[in-house]
Structure 1
Amino acid sequence: MKKLTLIAALFGVFFTAHAQEGKKWTLRECVTYALENNISVKQSQLDLEAAEIDKSDAIGNYLPSINGQASNSWNTGLTQNVTTGVLQNQTTRNLSAGVTASVNVFNGLRNLRQLQRAKLSRIAAMYSLEQMENDIALFVANSYLEVLVNKEVLEVLKEQNQLTKEQYQRTQDLVDAGTLPEGDLLEIKATNADEKQQIIVAENNVRIALISLAQTLLIEDYENFDIVKETYNTPMASILDQKPEEIIDNAKENRYEIKLAEQNVELAEKDVEISKSAYYPSLSAFFNYNTRESGAERITQGGVDSSQPTQVIGQVESTGEVVVAPNFALETLPPRPFIDQLWLNDGISYGVQLNVPILNGFSTRNSVKRNEINVKRAEYQLEQAKLDLESNIYQAYVDAQGSAKAYEAAKTALESQEQAYAYAQDRYDVGLTNAFDFSQSKFRLSNTQSQLIQAKYNYIFKLKVLELYFGVDPEDIKL
């Protein structure tokens, strides 16, 4: 997955996954789990799936629509015979069936523009998903580094407390020998108690940071959640050699928030084109095949009815031929076979239909105007996105510069404090300073070490965020 490579390369971490319960999580595993389970990422994935469906709908608009229909009814009384069309008193069953196909021949290029819009919408959904994954990955990385900071601070406090315990034993020996006053021993006891309290606070900070990271990953087993112990080297700060304007230019070409805003402008413009399609006439074609069948008995003409005499009703003037009234007998027959009726009673209809818009209460014109307003709104949003990106990059650049200076200052302070601590220890060992002054020197050293740890990881994170703004390929980002 692209985001896994991004974060793994971003912080130079490539660890082997652990399968056992209570495992220690690597940064790579945390990012993987977050991208698979984060609700916001899942929602963005659903948006992409919905965009795929919209694209399928747009393609389907080019296909003809085919619909079949059938009905079977029972009628009693004076009803029409579906095969003869004659009204008669009857109790019968009638079946009718048909299939109709229709296709849009021309509809103002609406189908083409809707397909184009669906493709743009899919690209926008992809950009949105990428942006969401980037944000989640960086958020997880920041939370992960927060845990590392608290863990290293805890280790520093424990190391300092170990030195205090060793100092306590030496001071105890000197007090027993009468070289130092007992007040120095009491001072070291107080220092030890204070350091233990700091260790408890630091342990709580580690636990809180782990719980916060677990909550970000939607992991509920807080008790067994922990991360791999790993120390990061300070990266090269070559990105700070670039001018902010160069970083901004690269970011505008590569950042997903800009690409997404640009896609939204294109979508709004495509909506204008779609709404203008309603100005044009539309032409559609149709074809229908239908048939029918009846369960009614047939009444047909038989032979001469001998029970009724032939009646003369006239004479042909030219020939003198007698005209008589028909006296044929009517014969009732069973209905024809089902299949035969379907063939005998079928029919087709086909044609084209032209619709010309003349007046629709300004609906089309107002729709075009609304979409034109949406285009302007999307253009403003794009402009705002560029301004926000520019502001964020300048802020990130200043933050990276400031964190670099803070890190260098913290290193210098630590070097000075280590020298001051060594000097204080030498003086304390020969009795030239008391335990209180020595404890204060050790406290300042511990505080400086903690500040260096925080400055280091803050510098790492700010630097990598700036590199991503610059468009450095994830595979090329090293610590």
Structure 2
Amino acid sequence: MKINKYNSLVFAMLFGFGLTGQAQSKQWTLEECVRYALENNITIKLTELDLKSAAIDKKGAIGNYLPSVNANASHSWNIGLNQNITTGLLENQTTQYSSVGASVGVDIYKGLQNQNNLRRANLSIVASKYQLLKMQEDISLNVASAFLQILSNKEDLKVKKEQLAIDEKRFARSEEMVNAGTIPRGDLFDLKATVATDKQNIAVSENNLLISKLSLAQLLQLKEFADFDVVDNNNLADENNILAQTPVEIYNKAKDIRTELKLAQTNLEIAEKNVAIAKGAYQPTLSAFYNFNTRASYSDIITGSTPNTVNPTSQIGFVQGTNQPVLQNNYSPVLGGPAPIFDQFNDNKGQSFGLQLSVPIFNGFATRNNVERNRVSLEKSKIDLEQKSLDLQRNVYTAFTDAKAALNTYEASTVTLEARQQAYNYAKEKYDVGLMNSFDFTQAQTLLTNAQSDVIRTKYDYMFKIKILEFYFGIPIVPIITK
């Protein structure tokens, strides 16, 4: 049942990848995989957008130095009972008005907040670049790990297939020997079970290989990965001789170049600027302003007067003593159309300018709380920088120890493999002349297979540990170009 599950899974993977009976059109090197991932990985693209956002924030900080200019215009209708601006009487009428204005304002002094905002924006761009570089480094290591896993699975599959070929030949030879009566038929059953186990192991190894290829293809964001494969590169040499360095030397180098420390230091500087910006709210602000406005009306205007024929005179008083009434002539206004719009705009324009000083006195502890809040963030940034330094030291020493241990384990497994190979050869000689039964020979063969698997596993584990140690020493898998 277990064999059928693995065979079904492998068949599905083979069908999905389209690898059955197809030649590989391209084999990727480790450098090609890393470069492709750096250009196409979604996480890196998101981090690049954060960098663009930081650049936009810088433009906003620069804009704080520039004056603010605003223009306004309005046109209104007044319908119903309202005062006639010509006669001064309340009338049911519809009047229209237009007004145009513009204003200019500029900060002269704002507690150095504009300067500190610009400095913080510049630091944010630097921090975003470090964050992008850190993400690129992490992706590079992940790609290297996935790449080496494929190579490990390839070698493991190769060993399993070679073992199957050997066991199938031994089964065919044993079948002839059983027919000839040289060995008992029970040995043949053991060999048949061994061949079946070999096929099951191959199915598992093929499945592991396909899954590891799929994992790397997804990490690279490949859209077409039906024929994806990597170049077989078994170079184990420590080309940069990194293990010749001491952990102290590697750590001292890492302190100067590691991105996580630079990022933590930049975040600390940003936190310091945030405190300075918050403190700026304690200080007075001085700004200058200039306003311009003009207006126009669409109502009729008085252009002259004419005697009132209906009520030509009206009494305005009387002569003291004689009580003779004093009369005045009544005149009616002569209305004309409104003056030309542009003439009104020109005649009604007005300007104002001046300085405005604002002194903060009390705002419900808002400024004080904001300063204290940013001071807490500053202390967190200091602790984070210290923690990053401690983490780096621990990681460097751990990586160095792991690399040394991986090398020793690989060398030990190589010695074990040589011994197991000699033991297997000796057992094969005894089995061929009938001095060893099939069960004991199978045990010797199993030990050899396990030793071969251990060599493969420890070899690629050592290669990956070396890559990690080289990263701390400033040796990337491929040079990363910062934007």
TM-score by length of 1: 0.85
1:233 is the counterpart of 2:235:
yes
Provide the rounded CA distance (Å) in 2 between the counterparts of 1:62 and 1:447: 71
How many residues align structurally? 449
Look up the SS of the partner of 2:354 in the other structure: strand
| Cross-structure match for 1:17 | none
Provide the rounded CA distance (Å) in 2 between the counterparts of 1:289 and 1:26: 69
Task: Provide, for residues 144-165 of structure 1, a one-character-per-residue CA deviation record: whole Å limited to 9, x for no partner.
Answer: 2222211210110101111112
1:283 is the counterpart of 2:289:
no
Provide the rounded CA distance (Å) in 2 between the counterparts of 1:107 and 1:87: 50
| Cross-structure match for 2:104 | 101
CA contact (8 A) 1:48 1:122 kept: yes
Which of 353, 366, 369 is the aligned partner of 1:366? 369
CA contact (8 A) 2:103 2:289 kept: yes
Which of 271, 278, 290 is the aligned partner of 1:268? 271
In the alignment, structure 2 segments of 5+ residues that lack a partner are 1-22, 319-325
Provide the rounded CA distance (Å) in 2 between the counterparts of 1:464 and 1:276: 47
| Cross-structure match for 2:10 | none
| Cross-structure match for 2:7 | none
Which of 102, 120, 132 is the aligned partner of 1:117? 120
CA contact (8 A) 2:24 2:227 kept: no
| Cross-structure match for 1:47 | 50
Which of 465, 469, 475 is the aligned partner of 1:466? 469
1:449 is the counterpart of 2:437:
no
CA contact (8 A) 1:78 1:87 kept: no
1:440 is the counterpart of 2:439:
no
Shift of 1:427: 2.8
Provide the rounded CA distance (Å) in 2 between the counterparts of 1:344 and 1:147: 85
CA contact (8 A) 1:64 1:101 kept: yes
1:250 is the counterpart of 2:263:
no
Look up the SS of the partner of 2:281 in the other structure: helix
CA contact (8 A) 2:147 2:230 kept: no
CA contact (8 A) 1:301 1:328 kept: no
Q: 1:240 to 1:298 in 2, by over 3 A?
A: same
Provide the rounded CA distance (Å) in 1 between the counterparts of 2:24 and 2:475: 37
Look up the SS of the partner of 1:279 in the other structure: coil
Look up the SS of the partner of 1:160 in the other structure: helix
| Cross-structure match for 1:403 | 406
Provide the rounded CA distance (Å) in 1 between the counterparts of 2:24 and 2:172: 41
Shift of 1:28: 4.3
Shift of 1:168: 2.5
Provide the rounded CA distance (Å) in 1 between the counterparts of 2:43 and 2:479: 28
Q: 1:472 to 1:207 in 2, by over 3 A?
A: closer
| Cross-structure match for 1:259 | 262
Provide the rounded CA distance (Å) in 2 between the counterparts of 1:271 and 1:367: 10
Provide the rounded CA distance (Å) in 2 between the counterparts of 1:331 and 1:36: 81
Q: 1:476 to 1:456 in 2, by over 3 A?
A: farther
Q: 1:352 to 1:88 in 2, by over 3 A?
A: farther
CA contact (8 A) 2:30 2:147 kept: yes
Provide the rounded CA distance (Å) in 1 between the counterparts of 2:76 and 2:300: 16
Provide the rounded CA distance (Å) in 2 between the counterparts of 1:306 and 1:446: 130
Q: 1:244 to 1:327 in 2, by over 3 A?
A: same
Shift of 1:369: 2.0
Instruction: Show the 5 A alignment for 1:119-134.
Output: 119-134=122-137
| Cross-structure match for 2:360 | 357
Task: Provide, for residues 7-42 of structure 1, a one-character-per-residue CA deviation record: whole Å limited to 9, x for no partner.
Answer: xxxxxxxxxxxxx99865554454455445544333
1:300 is the counterpart of 2:306:
no
Provide the rounded CA distance (Å) in 1 between the counterparts of 2:329 and 2:108: 55
Provide the rounded CA distance (Å) in 1 between the counterparts of 2:89 and 2:57: 51
| Cross-structure match for 2:203 | 200
Matched residue type, 1:434: N
Q: Sequence identity of aligned pairs in percent?
A: 48
Provide the rounded CA distance (Å) in 2 between the counterparts of 1:261 and 1:314: 92
Provide the rounded CA distance (Å) in 2 between the counterparts of 1:356 and 1:331: 55
Q: 1:414 to 1:471 in 2, by over 3 A?
A: same
In the alignment, structure 1 segments of 5+ residues that lack a partner are 1-19, 316-322
Shift of 1:76: 3.0
Shift of 1:473: 5.3
CA contact (8 A) 1:210 1:225 kept: no
Matched residue type, 2:234: Y
Matched residue type, 1:52: A
Shift of 1:403: 0.4
CA contact (8 A) 1:214 1:225 kept: no
Provide the rounded CA distance (Å) in 2 between the counterparts of 1:275 and 1:473: 40
Q: 1:388 to 1:114 in 2, by over 3 A?
A: same
Matched residue type, 1:335: P
Look up the SS of the partner of 2:376 in the other structure: helix
| Cross-structure match for 2:67 | 64
Larger deviation: 99-108 or 245-254? Answer: 245-254
Matched residue type, 2:75: N
Provide the rounded CA distance (Å) in 2 between the counterparts of 1:326 and 1:49: 79
Provide the rounded CA distance (Å) in 1 between the counterparts of 2:315 and 2:198: 136
Provide the rounded CA distance (Å) in 1 between the counterparts of 2:339 and 2:130: 66
Matched residue type, 2:164: N
Matched residue type, 2:237: P
TM-score by length of 2: 0.84
| Cross-structure match for 2:138 | 135
Which of 425, 431, 436 is the aligned partner of 2:428? 425
Shift of 1:93: 1.0
Larger deviation: 418-427 or 240-249? Answer: 418-427
Provide the rounded CA distance (Å) in 2 between the counterparts of 1:101 and 1:22: 66
Shift of 1:419: 2.0
Provide the rounded CA distance (Å) in 1 between the counterparts of 2:479 and 2:449: 36
Matched residue type, 1:228: V
Q: 1:435 to 1:348 in 2, by over 3 A?
A: same
Matched residue type, 1:99: A
Task: Provide, for residues 268-297 of structure 1, a one-character-per-residue CA deviation record: whole Å limited to 9, x for no partner.
Answer: 100111011112211111111111111101
Provide the rounded CA distance (Å) in 2 between the counterparts of 1:326 and 1:473: 104
Task: Provide, for residues 70-120 of structure 1, a one-character-per-residue CA deviation record: whole Å limited to 9, x for no partner.
Answer: 1111113454678x7966534221111111111111111111100000111
Shift of 1:343: 1.2
Larger deviation: 377-386 or 436-445? Answer: 436-445
Provide the rounded CA distance (Å) in 2 between the counterparts of 1:313 and 1:367: 71
